[in-house]
């Protein structure tokens, strides 16, 4: 492992099998605080006035201010992108989004179903249930979860079905390049992934979870006391993911290969 490498060989093999890896101190708490200040303004809510936290979730789109670009491009993260996707095979980001900012609330936020993030077919298609994903994860190299606030077990951490990416790759493979829509993929409520152990994406501000793009995950209601600030952007491929690549397959590709051999 080179001096600059963020991930050990053991981390990388765990990513292949589990579908995600957690990176602590991926960016600084100072950057996280600077980003939160901008995001508070974008929500229209006030940090010092809980009465303004009227909705269980507020969504904020792309943010291109300098602190966000710095957070997504730290040396620790770019090294990890290289390790998981391959040097030169991912497209640099200059912004972050989307931000589902969750507030403490007894209400059901209405968006807590298990799902896989779709990666193509959204052009001129407003119905997200018709967006598509295929076994080669066309259009997405990684799903990333950036924590901009401290997130404990009661603070609406994202739920993850460990190893579910393998089941999803097998489900998608017979459908070729067209893959399936979210509606088609979710018609059995992701039953094949029900036996998977569950993990939650907790951590201090500055923690990042790098996830396989086919990983099944879910939001959950916020039952804590401090609003949760998180971004869930995609890392886009500069070179298409190729499950048939050999011998220089990336860990993202090796996970799909492992699934299709099982």
What secondary structure does DSSP assign to 94-126, as a single string? S-B--EEEE---SS--S----B----BS-TT--
Helix (H) or strand (E) holding 50: none
Stretch (H or E) spanning 208: strand 208-211
pLDDT for 13-55, tens place per residue? 999 999 999 999 999 999 999 999 999 999 999 999 999 999 9
Q: Please state the φ and ψ torsions of residue 203, each to the nearest 5 degrees.
A: 155, 170
| Among 228, 200, 204, CA closest to 57 | 228
Q: Is the peptide bond prior to 98 cis by the omega test (within 30 degrees of 0)?
A: yes
pLDDT of residue 201 exceeding 90, the answer is: yes
Write the pLDDT tens digit of every residue in 59-102.
999 999 999 999 999 999 999 999 999 999 999 999 998 899 99
β partners of residue 57: 102
- Helices and strands: H and E segment counts in the chain: 7, 12
202: pLDDT strictly greater than 60: yes
Sign of the alpha-carbon torsion through 167, 173, 177, 179: negative
> Are the CB atoms for 252 and 141 separated by under 8 Å?
yes
Token representation of residue 191: 């039953």
The partner residues of 145 in beta bridges, in order of sequence, read 209
pLDDT at 110 (0 to 100):
85
Q: What is the pLDDT of residue 4?
A: 61
Cα distances (Å, whole numbers) of residue 224 to 1, 35, 57, 155, 202: 39, 21, 14, 5, 13
Domain boundaries, the chain: 9-261
pLDDT of residue 190 exceeding 70: yes
Tokens at 230, concatenated = 């998180």
The per-residue pLDDT for 2 is 41
Predicted confidence at residue 224, as pLDDT, reads 94
Handedness of CA 242, 247, 173, 143 (dihedral sign): negative
Q: ω into residue 247 within 30 of 0, thus cis?
A: yes
Mean predicted lDDT score pLDDT of the chain: 95
pLDDT at 108 over 90: no
CATH homologous superfamily of 9-261 equals: q2cbj1_9rhob like domain (2.60.120.620)
Per residue in 55-64, pLDDT (tens digit) is: 999 999 999 9
């Amino acid at each position: 492992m080179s001096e600059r490498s963020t991930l050990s060989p053991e981390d990388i093999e765990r990513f292949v099998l589990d579908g995600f890896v957690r990176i602590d101190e991926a960016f600084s708490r100072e950057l996280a605080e600077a980003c939160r200040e901008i995001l508070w303004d974008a929500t229209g809510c006030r940090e010092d006035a809980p009465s303004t936290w009227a909705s269980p979730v507020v969504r904020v789109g792309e943010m291109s201010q300098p602190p966000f670009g710095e957070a997504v491009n730290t040396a620790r993260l770019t090294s990890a992108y290289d390790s998981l996707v391959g040097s030169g095979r991912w497209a640099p980001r200059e912004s972050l989004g989307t931000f589902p900012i969750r507030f403490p609330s007894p209400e059901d936020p209405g968006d807590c179903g298990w799902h896989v993030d779709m990666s193509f077919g959204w052009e001129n298609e407003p119905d997200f249930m018709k967006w598509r994903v295929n076994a080669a994860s066309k259009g997405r190299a990684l799903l990333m979860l950036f924590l901009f606030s401290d997130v404990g077990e009661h603070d609406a951490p994202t739920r993850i079905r460990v190893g579910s990416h393998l089941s999803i790759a097998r489900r998608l493979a017979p459908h070729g390049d067209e893959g399936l829509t979210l509606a088609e993929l979710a018609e059995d409520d992701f039953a094949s992934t029900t036996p998977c152990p569950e993990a939650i994406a907790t951590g201090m501000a500055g923690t990042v979870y790098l996830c396989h793009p086919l990983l099944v995950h879910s939001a959950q209601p916020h039952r804590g006391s401090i609003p949760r600030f998180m971004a869930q952007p995609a890392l886009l491929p500069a070179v298409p993911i190729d499950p048939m690549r050999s011998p220089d397959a990336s860990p993202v590709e090796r996970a799909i290969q492992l699934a299709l051999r099982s």
